[in-house]
C-alpha cells in the first residue's frame, strides 16, 4: 500500500472515529448495561415486584373499554403481556386519528399520550443506547453514526491488514504510554472486529429502515412499499380482505381475551416446534368486527431470531398463520436475525455476558481512540498544550466519564426517590441529564487531569453505593428472591459493586499518571505557570 494511500485511510479513520466516538461511547456503555434489562427492571421496582403478576386476566375488559371510548383503536390495538415477569406492566397501545400514539395501563384511570410515558430506569438506559435520550431525531442520528462507524471500521481494517498477525497480541507496557494505548486499541479492535461489523450493520438497519422505506416508497414503489413491508414483518395476512370476506353483521363480534389468545398461540407454537414460546405482546386488528384477527408475538430460547408470531381469528382462536423458528419465510427470517444478532438474544446467559464485555470493550475502543488523537498532537516539550488538544481532552473526560457517572447516579436516584416523596420513574431521566451536564461543567472548571480523577472516584463511590444501598433498603426483597432461587437482584448489586471497584482502580491509575507522569501533557495535574506559555521543559 502506498504511503499516501495509508495516510488517507488513517485520516479518514481518525476523523470518522472522532465524529462518531462520543455517541458510540454512550451507546456501547448503555448497551452493555441493557444486556441485563429485565434484571435491572426487577431491581428498580421493589414495590411493583411484590404485585400480582397475573393481571393479564383483566386485559380483556380493559381493551373493550378502550375501544368503546376510543373508536380509532378498533382498527389496531396492542397490549403487552406480563409474561410471568414481576416487573412487566400490562399496557395497551393504539393510534388516534390525528396520528397520536396513546397508551393505558391496567391501573390507569384513563388514556394518555404514549410520548408522555414515564421513563423507568431500565427503559431509559435502553433509550440512551438507541437514541441517546434525544426524542424524535435521536434514533436517526444514531443511524447516521452507525454508518460513520462502519466507515471507521473499514478504514481501520485496511490500515492494520498488512500487519494484522504481528499486531494481534502486541501489548507492550512500559514508559511509552502512547504505544501502550495504541496496542490496546488495536488488539481490542481486531479481536472484536466481527462483532463490531454486526453492530454497525444491524444498528444502521434498525435506525434507518423507516427513512429508507419512506424514500423508496415514494421514489421507486409508487406508494406500495409501506403496506408490503408490514406484511413482510407480520404474520397477519391481508386483514382488509378478511373483513370483506367475512359474513356481514350490524352488531359487534365478541372477541377472545388476550390471555385466551396468548394461551392458544403458545400451545400452537410449541406444537409446531418452537421451544418455550412465551407471549409478550399481541394486537387486534378490526376489533369487534367480522373478520377481526389477532397477532400474538412471543419469544423462544436458543434460536437466532427469538421472536415468533402466531396469527389467529380473534373471535374463534382459529390459527391463521405462523412465523416461527424453522417455519419462517426469508423476509421474516432476515428481520428476526437482525434483532437477534444486534441484541444477542440467540444464546444463553453466557452470550449475554459476552455481549456485556463487548459493550464495555467497545466503549474503551472509542475512549482510547480519543486518547491516541490527544497523544499524537500534543507538544512533547511544551507545558501549555494546543487548544485542540485541551478541547479534545475536556470533551473526552466530560462526555465519556460524565456518562458513566450520570448512569450510576441515576441508579441511586431511583432508590432514593420514594423516600423524598417522588416516583422513581419521574426522576431518573432528569437526574441523568443534570448529572451529565454538571460533569461536563466540572471538567471545564477543574481541567481534564483533575476532573478525570474526580469523576472516576465519584463513579466508583456511587457504583458501590448502588449495591450497598439496595441491600440496606430492600434486604427483605433480596432475601426473598434468593430463597425463591432468583438471583437477578443480587446480580445487579454485585455487578454494580464490581464496576465500582474497577472505576476505583482507574481513578488510582489516572491520579498516578497526573502526579508522576509527563508534565508536558493535558493529563498532568499541575497547571502550567501561565496561560499561553510555551516554556520548554527538559526531557527526562
> Sorting pLDDT into bands at 50, 70 and 90, what band is 164?
low
Residue 218, number of CB atoms within 10 A of its CB: 12
Beta bridge partners of 298: 279, 308
Provide mean pLDDT across the span 277-291: 90
Cell digits of residue 131:
437514541
Cell digits of residue 473:
433498603
Cell digits of residue 461:
463511590
Give the pLDDT confidence score for residue 520 in this predicted structure.
78
540: pLDDT strictly greater than 50: no
165: pLDDT strictly greater than 90: no
User: Following DSSP, what letter does each residue of 297-322 receive, concatenated?
Assistant: EEE-SSSSS-EEEEEEETTT--EEEE
Q: Residue 522 CA to chain centroid, in angstroms?
A: 32
What's the CA gap between 294 and 321, in Å, rounded?
A: 11
Give the chain's mean pLDDT: 85
Contact 128, 26 (CB under 8 A): yes
| Gap between the terminal Cα atoms of the chain | 36
Give the pLDDT confidence score for residue 45 in this predicted structure.
82
Provide mean pLDDT across the span 501-516: 92
Number of H helices, E strands in the chain: 19, 8
Say whether 77 sits in a helix, a strand or coil: strand
Least confident of 44-58, 197-211, 481-495: 44-58
Least confident of 142-156, 235-249, 285-299, 524-538: 524-538
239: pLDDT strictly greater than 90: no
Give the pLDDT confidence score for residue 532 in this predicted structure.
46
Reported as type and span, the H/E element at residue 124 is: helix 121-131
The pLDDT > 70 percentage for the chain reads: 88
- The order of strands in the sheet holding 112-113 is 112-113, 101-105, 91-95, 76-80, 278-285, 293-299, 307-313, 319-323
Which of 339, 343, 309 minimizes the C-alpha distance to 324?
309
Give the pLDDT confidence score for residue 114 in this predicted structure.
78
- Who has greater pLDDT, 444 or 10? 444
> Sorting pLDDT into bands at 50, 70 and 90, what band is 299?
confident
531: pLDDT strictly greater than 60: no
Q: What is the pLDDT of residues 333-364, one digit of tens each?
A: 787 888 888 888 777 788 899 999 999 999 99
- Tell me the CA distances in angstroms from 82 to 54, 90, 362, one per residue in order: 7, 6, 33
Q: What is the pTM of this model?
A: 0.86
Amino acid at each position: 500500500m502506498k504511503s499516501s494511500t495509508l495516510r488517507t485511510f488513517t485520516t479518514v479513520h481518525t476523523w470518522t472515529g472522532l465524529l462518531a466516538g462520543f455517541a458510540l461511547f454512550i451507546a456501547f456503555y448503555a448497551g452493555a448495561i441493557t444486556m441485563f434489562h429485565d434484571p435491572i427492571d426487577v431491581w428498580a421496582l421493589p414495590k411493583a415486584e411484590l404485585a400480582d403478576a397475573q393481571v393479564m386476566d383483566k386485559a380483556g375488559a380493559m381493551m373493550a373499554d378502550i375501544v368503546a371510548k376510543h373508536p380509532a383503536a378498533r382498527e389496531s390495538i396492542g397490549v403487552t403481556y406480563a409474561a410471568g415477569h414481576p416487573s412487566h406492566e400490562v399496557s395497551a397501545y393504539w393510534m388516534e386519528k390525528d396520528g397520536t400514539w396513546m397508551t393505558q395501563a391496567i391501573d390507569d384511570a384513563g388514556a394518555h399520550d404514549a410520548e408522555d410515558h414515564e421513563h423507568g430506569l431500565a427503559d431509559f438506559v435502553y433509550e440512551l443506547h438507541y437514541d441517546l435520550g434525544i426524542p424524535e431525531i435521536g434514533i436517526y442520528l444514531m443511524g447516521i453514526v452507525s454508518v460513520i462507524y462502519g466507515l471507521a471500521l473499514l478504514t481501520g481494517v485496511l490500515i492494520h491488514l498488512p500487519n494484522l498477525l504481528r499486531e494481534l497480541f502486541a501489548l507492550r507496557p512500559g514508559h511509552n504510554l502512547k504505544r501502550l494505548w495504541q496496542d490496546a486499541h488495536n488488539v481490542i479492535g481486531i479481536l472484536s472486529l466481527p462483532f463490531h461489523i454486526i453492530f454497525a450493520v444491524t444498528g444502521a438497519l434498525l435506525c434507518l429502515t423507516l427513512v429508507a422505506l419512506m424514500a423508496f416508497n415514494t421514489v421507486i414503489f409508487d406508494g406500495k412499499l409501506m403496506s408490503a413491508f408490514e406484511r413482510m414483518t407480520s404474520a397477519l395476512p391481508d386483514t382488509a380482505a378478511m373483513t370483506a370476506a367475512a359474513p356481514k353483521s350490524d352488531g359487534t363480534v365478541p372477541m377472545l381475551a388476550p390471555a385466551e389468545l396468548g394461551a392458544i398461540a403458545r400451545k400452537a407454537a410449541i406444537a409446531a416446534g418452537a421451544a418455550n414460546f412465551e407471549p409478550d405482546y399481541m394486537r387486534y386488528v378490526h376489533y369487534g368486527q367480522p373478520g377481526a384477527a389477532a397477532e400474538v408475538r412471543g419469544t423462544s430460547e436458543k434460536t437466532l431470531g427469538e421472536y415468533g408470531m402466531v396469527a389467529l381469528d380473534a373471535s374463534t382462536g382459529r390459527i391463521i398463520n405462523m412465523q416461527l423458528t424453522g417455519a419462517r419465510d426469508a423476509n421474516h427470517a432476515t428481520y428476526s436475525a437482525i434483532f437477534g444478532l444486534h441484541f444477542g438474544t440467540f444464546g444463553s446467559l453466557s452470550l449475554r455476558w459476552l455481549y456485556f464485555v463487548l459493550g464495555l470493550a467497545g466503549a474503551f475502543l472509542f475512549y482510547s481512540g480519543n486518547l491516541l488523537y490527544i497523544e499524537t498532537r500534543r507538544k512533547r516539550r511544551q507545558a501549555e498544550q494546543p487548544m485542540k488538544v485541551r478541547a479534545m481532552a475536556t470533551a473526552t473526560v466530560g462526555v465519556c466519564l460524565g456518562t458513566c457517572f450520570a448512569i450510576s447516579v441515576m441508579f441511586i436516584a431511583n432508590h432514593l426517590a420514594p423516600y423524598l416523596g417522588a416516583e422513581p420513574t419521574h426522576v431518573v431521566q432528569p437526574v441523568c441529564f443534570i448529572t451529565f451536564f454538571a460533569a461536563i461543567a466540572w471538567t471545564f472548571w477543574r481541567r481534564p487531569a483533575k476532573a478525570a480523577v474526580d469523576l472516576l472516584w465519584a463513579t466508583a463511590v456511587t457504583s458501590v453505593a448502588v449495591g450497598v444501598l439496595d441491600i440496606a433498603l430492600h434486604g427483605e426483597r433480596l432475601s426473598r428472591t434468593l430463597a425463591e432461587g432468583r438471583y437477578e437482584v443480587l446480580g445487579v448489586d454485585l455487578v454494580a459493586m464490581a464496576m465500582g471497584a474497577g472505576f476505583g482502580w482507574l481513578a488510582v491509575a489516572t491520579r498516578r499518571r497526573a502526579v508522576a507522569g509527563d508534565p508536558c501533557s493535558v493529563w498532568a495535574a499541575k497547571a502550567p505557570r501561565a496561560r499561553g506559555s510555551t516554556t520548554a521543559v527538559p526531557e527526562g
